[in-house]
Structure 1
């Protein structure tokens, strides 16, 4: 994937500034919304299996709390830095406001390659990091969730750590945890399911038959892998898939279920070494430029840039990842007539079902999976319709339309609450 990037937080601010200009927001509100409200940086020791102690660096950033407690994932990745976490927290604010759930945006991260640590080392790191940021966490304050490099087991460790500090079990302090300890049915697939729903709705709006769509997915983790599988199940032809091991393409369509099984059983949980009749190995860069109807970037930020945007051959891009398209690339795609369903809409399924999990945990009353999926679909489709109407009426790209709706909601909350004291 790409290497030299613009500053991620600068991109998030640039996107906000564009919406703020179109909304004619007062300078006082812009000043508040343009920066995070709280930032916590921690350096913490972890005992390794060999007896040595390593010091890791982690962050928790809360962007805005005007609409409710902070919500956002925790990322384990070697490239994590404070500006990335700031950007992700800001995007979470807009995402929550866009789908109209009562959260503000937050994000966390630790600079680490989780694949290089044992299970015991990951547990000790997770529990120590949770302890370091525990001053911010709570069901009424800040509720983490899984993100890149983290999973349901790590959320269980965080919940248990916070519960041990409190002296009683606090299920609603995290979401995305195992069902057996208060997680929600449907949470694991929620983000990918939301991406699938957006592909389906765009096809409907454009008068395309879903079974005629050729789909390319960059990223084969929880988001990309789930989206690819669900799209395959509703009749799309998935012709390209990539993960950290590289890209794989087959014009006749890939066997997504077989690829998921291969990845699940691989020691590194990747597609490294995958072969099948008719499948060609290609690079991630080549995958993004495949001739297709729908491209789903579901990996890291800044994958579609000014360098490759002129060569993208998809008719529609549905952003499964956060921030996969730079603003300059966005402009090129718009000029070329490529429709982009933005990240704050396309991948909102995860935070929507995280909200459901939080509500279920607070009430100690749990829903069945069909109820969860039906509620998710209603919110995603209603939000898509609202954004589509704004885009059509004001002749705007979907990203700008989504930002106008989200930023206005947060700005209204700030004005209504006022400035303390």
Structure 2
């Protein structure tokens, strides 16, 4: 689909470290845009621009005219810094001070790669903002009740992991299961390799393991842990630090430590890149043995690599669909489509993601295109409908 210039694009330079931060608002709906804030060494304006455009599509793909949640526009923030750098938190605070007018008026944001929601909330409070999503409050029927509902949802834990950390992985896992069901592939015969065991990757691994799939490899910054008989996902999740790095003392005798990129060529039917962007390119795509690549991370497969993968029968399920459950869960909860209850949230996520993935794959089959092209076509169909109903700016 065509990619017009974003409505707003800015680059900020930190006066203390010289590092840069970026904010891109791709589109507004009712005056508001939605998109997370990431922090990683090497983050660029082009990257953030692409992510903001992706958020526009994710919002449009979840448009339901009967729901309380009305999709917003798309935006994204990014900071060029390693989140493990001791100076990272101060940089985050100064960035938020610089973009404060946008958070107050039009940009709703939250955790993304390299940042936890707890850290974002801490920095937001230090800056003096009400909330990272306060720009949406004027659109709510009952702000007090909505904020209490979201706070209650963030307080819910399921087997030691917060509901907010599980929502996105539930959506990724359901995308995998929908693809397997359409192809008639049984869950117990399906092996999975996951790159990244942070919020998204960890939750995805948990839901897939509990569905009966075998997780044979996971990768973090220390390398890949693999076991062809299956890893103990719960033990690995319990042994993670705040950045998703697994304490190797938790490994079992049959678990092997391999190089960091070994997950890419794992003997598995499903690959789930769930950490960094641009990890599968033309130089390494030929190492992929999987039948499906499921993009839990944003933009992990470069376009030319995807064309080569598609040509040899590897199906890429795109990020704009696969990882959209996190964003949608926030808004379903805040607007009141679901309550602060794990069972209700998981049921709603599964139902919505299953419908969206099935619609995308059916469109791809009917049009003879890739799932990504089909997803973009669905978004292109819905964006004018949203614009006609709500306008570009609100």
User: TM-score range, shorter-chain basis?
Assistant: 0.7 to 0.9
**Is the deviation greater in 350-359 or in 82-91?**
350-359
Change (3 A) 1:178 1:212: farther
SS in 2 for 1:284: coil
1:81–1:419 distance in 2 versus 1, CA, 3 Å: closer
Distance of 1:261 and 1:89 partners within structure 2? 33
Whole-angstrom CA distance in 1 between matches of 2:71 and 2:277:
26
Q: 2:77 aligns with which of 108, 115, 120?
A: 108
* Counterpart in the other structure of 1:238: 215
Q: Is the 8 A contact 1:61 1:108 kept in 2?
A: yes
Which residue of structure 1 lines up, in the alignment, with residue 316 of structure 2?
Answer: 340
- 1:189-244 CA distances to partner (integer Å, 9 max, x unpaired)? 11111111111111111111112111111111111111111111121110011011
| Deviation digits for residues 54-75 of structure 1 (CA, Å, limit 9, x no counterpart) | 4542111111114762111111
Write out per-residue CA displacement over residues 344-380 of structure 1, whole angstroms, 9 at most, x where no aligned residue: 11111111112124325xx9x9532222222222211
Shift in Å, 1:183 = 5.3
Q: Following TM superposition, by how much is the alpha carbon of 1:296 offset from its aligned partner in structure 2, in angstroms? A: 0.7
SS of the equivalent of 1:354 reads: helix
Q: Which runs of 5+ in 1 are unaligned?
A: 1-18, 21-32, 46-52
Rate the CA distance shift 1:73–1:174 in 2: closer, same or farther, 3 A: farther
Map of 1:255-404 to 2, 5 A cutoff? 255-264=232-241, 269-271=244-246, 273-274=248-249, 275-359=251-335, 366-404=339-377
Partner of 2:134: 173
Show the 5 A alignment for 1:174-213.
181=151, 184=154, 185=156, 186-213=163-190
Q: 1:76·1:148 contact (CA, 8 Å) conserved in 2?
A: yes
- 1:148 aligned residue: 113
Please tell me the root mean square deviation across aligned C-alpha atoms, in Å. 2.8
- Tell me if 1:216 matches 2:193: yes
Q: Contact between 2:171 and 2:322, CA under 8 Å: does it hold in 1? A: yes
TM-score where L is the length of structure 2: 0.85
Cα distance in 1 between the residues matched to 2:309 and 2:392: 39
Question: Partner of 2:37 in structure 1?
Answer: 74
**Please, which moves more after superposition, 304-313 or 212-221?**
304-313
Does residue 408 of structure 1 match 2:381? yes
Residue 153 of structure 1 contacts residue 178 of structure 1 at CA under 8 Å; is this kept in 2?
no
Which ranges in structure 2 are unaligned for 5 or more consecutive residues? 64-69, 137-146, 157-162
Between Structure 1 and Structure 2, how many residues are aligned? 369
Retained in 2: the 8 A contact 1:144–1:174?
A: no
Contact 1:126/1:157 (<8 A) preserved = no
- Per-residue Cα deviation, 1:87-108 (whole angstroms, up to 9, x for no partner): 1111111111122251111111
Task: Give, in angstroms, the shift of residue 181 of structure 1.
Answer: 4.5
Report the TM-score when normalising by structure 1.
0.80
Residue 410 of structure 1: CA displacement?
A: 2.1
